C-alpha cells in the first residue's frame, strides 16, 4: 500500500484544487478579476504513451504479434497491429500448403502481403515455418517417397522460399515441432523418410539461401526444463559442434492456466544462451477455461508479466511475440473447445489486465502491493 498512497493523495489534491477547496483564501469581492488567456485555460496535451515495441526497444528487445491474411481487411485491427508492435509473424501464409500448393508451383501471395504490411509500418518479420509435419499439401502427403526424392523436394522448397524472401525477413523458424513430449523424435514424414539428419540439412539449405537470416528451431512445451527441452538442448549442442548454422531456439509458450506456470522458464532460456544461441518467446498466449473472470484475468496478467520479465532477465532472449494480439482472432477456441480469452486484447480490441502487466514488465517495474 505504500506505493499507492502518494498517487491517491496526488489525485485527491488535484480534485480539491479543481473545486477550489484548499486552494488558498478566497478572492475579495472588490478584487480585480484575473486576466485569462487561451494558454492558461487550454488543457495540457495528453502525453503519448509509449507502445509495447518502444518499451521493448529500450530494453534491447522486440515485441511482436502474429497475424494472418484474412484479418488484414479489419482496419481497426491492422491500425493497432501497425502501431503497437515491431515484429510480425505470418501465422499461416508462409507454410508449405500456402507456398507450394502443387509440386514445383510456388505462390508467395499471402507471405508477400504480410511482408509488405510489415514494411509499411517499419516492422521486421519472423518468417514461419519451413519444415513441419502439419499443414502440408496433399501432393506431398498423398504418396510414398524415396529418401533421395524427398530430400530433393525439401531442398528445392527451402531454397525457393528462403531465396524469395532473402533480405526481407529477420529470421526463419526452419524446423517446427520436431520432438515428442518424452524427447524422442516426432514420427513425421521427414523423420520416417530421411532420419534425424533432415534437421541439419534444412538449416544448411536455409543458410545457403539467405546467409543473413537468423535460423531457429521452434516448439511448444519446451518453456521449462524437461525431457522435451532437454532433447532440444542436446540437439542444439550437437549441431553447433558440427558447424551446422543455428542461431536460436524458439519457445512457443502456449500456456494454459489449468496446467501451471513454467517456473524454470528463465533457467531454460539461460542454458540455451550458454550455448551461444539466441532465444525468443515466439507464439505466446495464456488460455483459460471459459468463462473468464477477474481472478483468472489477474492470474493471466501475472503470467504475462513473469514471462516478459524472464526474457528481459536473459541477455540473449531477443524478444516476445504473442500469437496474434486479440481474442478476436485467436486460434484457441477452435482447437480447445471451452477455452480461450488467451491474449492481451479482448474481442473488441480493448486492452486487458495482461496488457498493463506486459507494460509494467517492460518498464522493469514490480507489481504494486
Whole-number Å distance between alpha carbons of 358 and 18: 33
Whole-number Å distance between alpha carbons of 130 and 139: 17
Active site residues: 177, 283
Q: Could you please report the per-residue DSSP string of 321-363?
A: EESSSBGGG-SHHHHSTTEE--SSB-TTS-B-HHHHHHHHHHT
* Residue 337, C-beta contacts closer than 8 angstroms, at least 6 positions apart: none
Q: What is the pLDDT of residues 94-105, one digit of tens each?
A: 999 999 999 999
Which residues are registered as beta bridge partners of 326? 345
Contact of 119 with 91, CB cutoff 8 Å: no
Neighbour count for residue 325 (Cβ, 10 Å): 28
Q: Of 258, 298, 304, 259, which Cα lies nearest the Cα of 281?
A: 304
Sign of the torsion angle spanned by Cα atoms 296, 302, 305, 310: negative
Contact of 321 with 280, CB cutoff 8 Å: yes
Whole-number pLDDT of residue 228: 98
Whole-number pLDDT of residue 365: 61
Three cell numbers written together for 239: 549441431
Whole-number pLDDT of residue 42: 54
* Residue 356, C-beta contacts closer than 8 angstroms, at least 6 positions apart: 301
pTM for the full model?
A: 0.87
Whole-number pLDDT of residue 52: 98
Q: What is the pLDDT of residues 258-301, one digit of tens each?
A: 999 999 999 999 999 999 999 999 999 999 999 999 999 999 99
Q: What is the pLDDT of residues 28-63, one digit of tens each?
A: 333 333 343 334 455 555 678 999 999 999 999 999
Q: What is the pLDDT of residues 306-364, one digit of tens each?
A: 999 999 999 999 999 999 999 999 999 999 999 999 999 999 999 999 999 999 999 98
Whole-number Å distance between alpha carbons of 189 and 47: 54
Quote the crossing angle between the two packed helices 147-164 and 197-209, to the nearest 10°. 30
Amino acid at each position: 500500500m505504500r506505493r499507492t498512497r502518494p498517487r491517491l493523495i496526488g489525485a485527491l489534491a488535484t480534485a480539491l484544487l479543481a473545486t477550489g477547496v484548499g486552494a488558498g483564501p478566497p478572492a475579495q469581492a472588490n478584487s480585480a478579476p484575473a486576466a485569462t488567456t487561451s494558454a492558461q485555460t487550454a488543457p495540457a496535451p495528453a502525453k503519448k504513451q509509449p507502445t509495447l515495441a518502444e518499451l521493448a526497444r529500450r530494453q534491447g528487445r522486440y515485441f511482436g504479434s502474429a497475424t494472418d491474411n484474412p484479418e488484414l481487411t479489419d482496419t481497426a485491427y491492422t491500425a493497432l497491429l501497425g502501431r503497437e508492435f515491431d515484429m510480425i509473424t505470418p501465422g499461416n501464409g508462409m507454410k508449405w500448403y500456402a507456398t507450394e500448393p502443387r509440386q514445383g508451383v510456388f505462390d508467395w501471395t499471402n507471405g508477400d502481403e504480410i511482408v509488405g504490411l510489415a514494411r509499411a509500418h517499419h516492422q521486421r518479420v519472423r518468417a514461419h515455418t519451413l519444415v513441419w509435419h502439419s499443414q502440408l499439401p496433399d501432393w506431398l502427403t498423398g504418396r510414398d517417397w524415396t529418401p533421395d526424392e524427398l530430400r530433393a523436394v525439401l531442398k528445392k522448397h527451402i531454397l525457393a522460399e528462403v531465396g524469395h524472401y532473402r533480405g526481407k525477413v529477420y529470421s526463419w523458424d526452419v524446423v517446427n515441432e520436431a520432438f515428442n513430449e518424452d524427447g524422442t523424435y516426432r514420427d513425421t514424414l521427414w523423420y520416417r523418410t530421411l532420419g534425424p539428419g533432415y534437421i541439419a540439412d534444412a538449416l544448411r539449405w536455409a543458410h545457403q539461401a539467405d546467409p543473413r537470416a537468423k535460423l531457429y528451431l521452434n516448439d511448444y512445451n519446451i518453456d521449462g526444463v524437461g525431457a522435451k527441452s532437454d532433447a532440444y538442448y542436446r540437439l542444439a549442442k550437437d549441431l553447433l559442434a558440427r558447424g551446422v548454422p543455428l542461431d536460436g531456439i524458439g519457445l512457443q509458450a502456449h500456456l494454459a492456466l489449468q496446467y501451471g506456470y513454467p517456473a524454470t522458464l528463465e533457467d531454460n532460456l539461460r542454458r540455451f544462451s550458454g550455448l551461444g544461441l539466441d532465444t525468443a518467446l515466439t507464439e505466446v498466449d495464456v488460455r483459460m477455461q471459459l468463462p473468464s473472470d477477474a481472478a483468472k484475468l489477474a492470474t493471466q496478467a501475472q503470467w504475462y508479466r513473469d514471462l516478459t520479465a524472464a526474457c528481459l532477465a536473459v541477455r540473449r532472449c531477443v524478444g516476445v511475440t504473442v500469437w496474434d494480439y486479440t481474442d478476436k482472432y485467436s486460434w484457441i477456441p477452435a482447437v480447445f473447445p471451452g477455452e480461450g480469452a488467451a491474449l492481451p486484447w479482448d474481442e473488441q480490441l480493448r486492452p486487458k489486465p495482461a496488457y498493463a502487466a506486459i507494460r509494467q514488465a517492460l518498464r522493469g517495474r514490480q507489481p504494486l502491493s
